[in-house]
Structure 1
């Protein structure tokens, strides 16, 4: 179940004929590489549309929506004490859960942030608390500059988009799917995003891993 970048062909979870929904007149037995190219091209366009849409949110609106998401996360997670929660540093208009993370630490939880080790590799989660040193990583996103890798009990995955089957549309690098597939034990996987990011389907492939639950504003 190895995740890969979106410019490489894959085998399919759905038969190739699903592509008629993307390309009118597509043959009954298309070349699989061509079919994946159509999915990847559609995902890139949809990703841009959804990110552009969320960047239009005003700062105070985003703050209120983020606070609501944090409240729902509290209900879903329940007890924080002794549990490691892998979350993220907000990027390009994502819900900002940093205040929520601090409250989780105050309630006995432990927070870990993802670190990109190398392109094509799984992410590494490292512990973080306010005041710990951070360094700029890929896309200039802050990440813990030191510390051993840890296994989260809960993974909070930011969404660019999501569908009815709880599949996540990310940024196209495959980092989250690759990371989840490589974990020695499965965490609770919680996707978070804005309700406006819901789409009919992401046209999931075998490397796409569905969320256990999705939380929106």
Structure 2
């Protein structure tokens, strides 16, 4: 049976990995997070199981549901991300059922925003952010992450980060590489940090550790919440 246009778009959307994706399945050296203490080790193990569950549940959503939710998320983002002409906003490439905000990214560019994509440069190192415009060439980076082939490095004023999970204290459960928190800790100027995901990814707690940095804002299809 021939694939529908929607199925083909869905496969294209999931060709690449988003920042630090799938790191719970690769060399632990890339995380740079110590698990020498029993408590930390237990939390790391628990988080791995939660990631697998939450990613499976997100992928189980139909494409139509994810598209509807992404449109709602974009509406709430417009209420938060205002007066940004000339500023740098970092987004992400959708993978494994993440909200596809590329349409919203195109609208930002039309408003004069310089959009960035994060780039993994080395194990246990902060990410860097490179500029990208629709139509410019992307190349496959580490773990097939799409990165701008010729983008200029910049520091974001706003970071839009995908959520694997999130809790009531606005802590983010990511993909396990530690890149996101390490990057925020290394920036001289703290950006506005917005985590985006689906309401089904809400959990009671991620059991935050010392390196975890909470989001300033969480946005799902049901609305936005400030820490």
TM-score (structure 1 length as normaliser):
0.85
Contact 2:126 2:179 in 1 (8 A): yes
Q: Residue 103 of structure 1: SS of its match in structure 2?
A: helix
Runs of 4+ more than 2 Å apart: 4-7
* Structure 1 residues 124-155: Cα deviation after superposition (integer angstroms, max 9, x where no partner): 10001011110112332211112331000000
**Alignment check: 8 A CA contact 2:31 2:123 kept:** no
Unaligned runs of 5+ in 1: 10-31
Residue 175 of structure 2 aligns with which residue? 171
Name the counterpart of 1:45.
49
- Which is higher, the Rg of structure 1 or of structure 2? 1
Residues 7 and 112 of structure 1: is their aligned pair in 2 closer, same or farther, counting only changes over 3 Å? closer
2:219 pairs with 1:215? yes
CA distance in 1, matches of 2:211, 2:153: 23
Compared CA separation, residues 85 and 104, structure 1 to 2 (3 A): same
Please state whether the residue corresponding to 1:55 is helix, strand or coil. Answer: helix
Aligned residue in 1 for 2:82: 78
Aligned to 1:5: 31
Q: How many residues align?
A: 192
Contact 2:85/2:112, CA 8 A, preserved across alignment? yes
| 1:124 partnered with 2:128 | yes
Write out aligned runs for 1:1-217 (5 A).
5=31, 8-9=34-35, 33-217=37-221
Q: Equivalents in 1 of 2:95, 2:124: separation in Å? A: 20
Measure how far apart 1:6 and its partner are. Answer: 7.0
TM-score norm. by structure 2 comes to: 0.82
Residue aligning to 1:20: none
1:91-132 CA distance string (max 9 Å, x none): 111100100000011011110000111111111100010111
Alignment root-mean-square deviation, CA: 1.3
